[in-house]
Structure 1
Amino acid sequence: MTGKAPFGPLQGLRVVEMGQLLAGPFVGSRCADFGAEVIKVEAPGSGDPIRSWGRLQHEGKTLWWPIMARNKKSVSINLRAAEGQELARSLIAQADVLIENFKPGTLERWGMSPEQLHALNPGLVIVRVSGFGQTGPYAARPGFASVGEAMSGLRYINGYPDMPPPRYGISLGDTLTALFAFEGMMMALYHRDRNGGRGQVVDAAITESCFAMLESTVTEYSKAGEVRQPSGTGLAKIAPSNIYPARDGTYVVIAANVDAMFRRLTQAMGQPHLADDPRFVTHIARGENAGLLDSMIATWSASLDVADLTARLEQFGVVFGPINSIAEVVQDPHFRERGMVRDHHDDDFGTITVPGVFPVLSETPGDIAWLGPQEVGAHNAEIYARIGLGEETIEDLKVRGVI
């Protein structure tokens, strides 16, 4: 299961992942996909709830687990027990990174505050993922992605005018936070290794990660009093940049709001005169006349089947892309060749199609060694032997529910 040759730029990095579900474990996933040894700490017996999440399963096994647990090693620890907390400290003492996404204050109650952990392991980078951060009036609140997306302002601008703002079809806030947390972790490791070996805390909040995606909305409000509103399938005053129908009922995104790109689009449409029409000749003019322009483009696009439409857009160098379902993504030859989608053989799932490892590194690419252990604590013997526990001790701890 773990016999694949070492790979990736993070070889030699040891990460202890404590937490569950999405945001914290996805930080661990980024580490594991690029070669770090990620030791996932799970509650004895039940393990991470993601093991049983999701509507769809394969032969009783959830299809979320192989994404969130791949390349990781599982150990079981009852973190609510004093012996379990001591065991966790022993693992953390040998680690480069600790990832946790418990409610703020939980580590402190378990005798694992940053100060205590740094006294034990001065070089430790502690990545703390939470809904609202470790400080501030809302710090003690539990937080999920949907709430962070809402409170940050991100959800407000999603959807259509005069309609309730819909949620995204994924836990976007969790993934964004994990990416920012991973970024902070790498910066903290760089600083540690360049400046005397001292670790630090990375405090990553879902609300702030979503807020960071809001582009110019803050400065627009600050200096112009503008509160950006949801704009449906396009962006206000940005044209053409929308979805347009093909004759067979599918939709294609066309983004030609830059002057040179718009001129190419008019050539693809067979209407090059539109590029010099005063209503469309500049970015600002097109924004003021977006409704009319979108209507004209849609009339043209709807006269062509999607294959002919996309071929013509490609011929003239227009930025475009079909709106793919996951079925179309999985079958797309570009994504296959790039390794974005790949088939992996696994003892539990057989041959299963999984996401690849991104970004692509030329010299030390990430890889997929295994899809995560099905058994909670599958690596107990291997990992606990490192801290001096023998087989009898491990068995005794298991019997007593510590691991």
Structure 2
Amino acid sequence: MASDGDDPMTSPMDEGALQGLRVIELGQLIAGPFCGQLMGDMGAEVIKVEPPEIGDPMRNWGRGEDKLWWEVVSRNKLCVTANLRISEGQQIARELASKADILIENFKPGTMEKWGLSPEALHAINPRLIIVRVSGYGQTGPYSARAGFGGIGEAMGGWRYIVGDPDRAPSRMGISIGDTLAATYGCMGALAALQARDRTGRGQVVDSALYEAVLQVMESVVPEYDRSGYIRERSGSVLPGIAPSNVYRCKDGEFLIGANQDAVFTRLCAAMGRPELAKDERYHDHVSRGRNQVELDQLIENWTATLTVAEVEALMIEHSVPAGKMYRAPEMLEDPHFAARDAIVEVETERWGPLKMQNAFPKFSDTPSKVRRPAPSSIGQDNAEVYGRLLNYDAGKLAELAAQGAI
């Protein structure tokens, strides 16, 4: 827990599973800040350190005219400024680290060392500190010094090659999945390191590489090649040999049906009014359906094309077949299940007023996560509060640091 008697952001005991932990977030853009968002949502006091005046580029990222990503990724955080490129700013970072449980950074490997903020230097100040380092290729190895963004990690980890239609170039997912996976593994590693710290009393480094985070979710791609030389290829909306599991055209839209398990396929056949298909030798088991995947998908779409999405959905629910509509933001905001589980929450933001966004996740029965505060609107708006409370900086000290360009 945060040391030296410095109380973290005051909140009731039920304000999150990580209540009482203090996190210093030095990273910027996506991976580091998303790791901090996860911890903040679970109740940790997250202090985000931004460069003076310019702030984190995430303040100006997002689609459309209004740049709103910042409001999600920086919620539940306090924002201070420190110029880590000069000695005075580096000293501020060291002092913050001395009073923290976890420090997150996602700079190019070697940058923290150049600034005098290496793990060795920080552990000399605070042996219990857990340092999460997110980078493109990891802190070691021949590629470690290379610049790496999420898309590059997705390509190296094997994701990009298998996404898209087979007759086109590899596609992207549409979100920064490489960054968020690496951030999620970084968060998970930090929580495991906390458990280890309870036993040993020592902090450690959590090294989360973008490409390795992607590699972790690549299922059996590597052993398939190692054992049989099989290379998984792009297959569009289907997985070869897994049938039926596809998006099917209806009268008024598209609908996803996943009925590749034998018993489920039998129920789908009943819903279609074609129970005999479940016993047809072309479709009666998993292997046969995979072998005849194209014709089976066409047979199913010939049926769905005669019905509306709502009609197909009702039949799938009635026959207990996993299926669902293609959701966009409008459908999410209108759906009663999202509402019942509070999957989307309205946050009163300082800049935009009430703003709907995804709620904190996962759900806890005793220590619920939540959006406790909106993202700070101005750069360095919490300087006086945080530096005064944690580092005992008075107004004169803050003015001196500002004059030096340190904050």
Q: TM-score range by the shorter chain?
A: over 0.9
Distance of 1:184 and 1:65 partners within structure 2: 24
User: For 1:257, what is the secondary structure of its paired residue?
Assistant: coil
Verify: 1:83 aligned to 2:91, yes or no: no
Say if 2:366 is the partner of 1:358. Answer: no
Q: Which residue matches 2:186?
A: 181
Q: 2:291 aligns with which of 280, 288, 292?
A: 288
CA contact (8 A) 2:154 2:211 kept: yes
Note the residue ranges of structure 2 that are not aligned, 5 or more in a row: 1-8
Instruction: Name 2:381's counterpart in structure 1.
Output: 378
Q: Which residue of 1 aligns with 2:317?
A: 314
Per-residue deviation at 1:336?
A: 1.5
CA-to-aligned-CA distance 1:260-291 (integer Å, 9 cap, x gap): 00000000000000000011111001000101
Percent of aligned pairs sharing the same letter: 48
Deviation string 1:3-28 (CA, Å, 9 cap, x unpaired) is 87561010110000001010011000
CA distance in 2, matches of 1:119, 1:148: 32
2:44 paired with 1:36: yes
Is it true that 1:238 corresponds to 2:246 in the alignment? no
Secondary structure class of the residue paired with 2:200: coil
C-alpha offsets along residues 117-159 of structure 1, whole Å, 9 cap, x if unaligned?
1111001000000000001111001111111111111110111
String of CA shifts for 1:74-108, please: whole Å, max 9, x gaps: 11000001011011100000000000000000111
Cα distance, 1:56 vs structure 2: 2.8
Moved more, 342-351 or 66-75: 342-351
Secondary structure class of the residue paired with 2:160: coil
| Corresponding residue SS for 1:397 | helix
- Mapped partners of 2:68, 2:255: distance in 1: 30
Alignment match, 2:205: 201
Secondary structure (helix, strand or coil) at the match of 1:156 reads helix
How large is the Cα RMSD of the aligned pairs?
1.2
* Paired residues for 1:220-231 under 5 Å: 220-231=224-235
Match of 1:16 in 2: 24
Write the distance in 2 (CA, Å) between the matches of 1:5 and 1:370. 14
1:388 equivalent in structure 2:
392
4+ residue stretches of structure 1 with deviation over 6 A?
A: none
Contact kept, 8 Å, 1:4 with 1:369, in 2: the verdict is no
The DSSP-based 3-state class of the residue aligned with 2:113 is: helix
TM-score between both structures, scaled by the size of structure 2: 0.95
Worse-superposed segment, 298-307 or 328-337: 328-337
Deviations along 1:334-386, one digit per CA (max 9) or x if unpaired, are 11211111222234222111111111111111111222111111111111122
Q: Indicate the residue corresponding to 1:400 in structure 2.
A: 404
The Cα shift of 1:162 comes to 2.4
Distance 1:399 1:68 in 2: 30
Alpha-carbon distance change, 35 to 57 in structure 1, aligned in 2, over 3 angstroms: farther
Corresponding letter in the other structure for 1:165: P
* Number of aligned positions between the proteins: 397
Residue from 342, 346, 352 that aligns with 1:343:
346
SS in 1 for 2:255: strand
Rounded to whole Å, the distance in 1 between the matches of 2:397 and 2:367 is: 39
Write the distance in 2 (CA, Å) between the matches of 1:3 and 1:63. Answer: 27
Once the two structures are TM-superposed, the CA of residue 303 in structure 1 deviates from its matched residue by: 0.7
Amino acid at match of 1:320: A
The alignment's TM-score, normalised by the length of structure 1, stands at: 0.96
Tell me, in whole angstroms, the C-alpha distance in 2 between the residues paired with 1:227 and 1:36. Answer: 43
Aligned counterparts, 1:9-158, within 5 A? 9-58=17-66, 62-158=67-163
Do 2:348 and 2:374's aligned partners in 1 also have CA atoms closer than 8 Å? no
**Paired letter, 1:36:** A
Contact 1:247 1:302 (8 Å CA) reproduced: yes
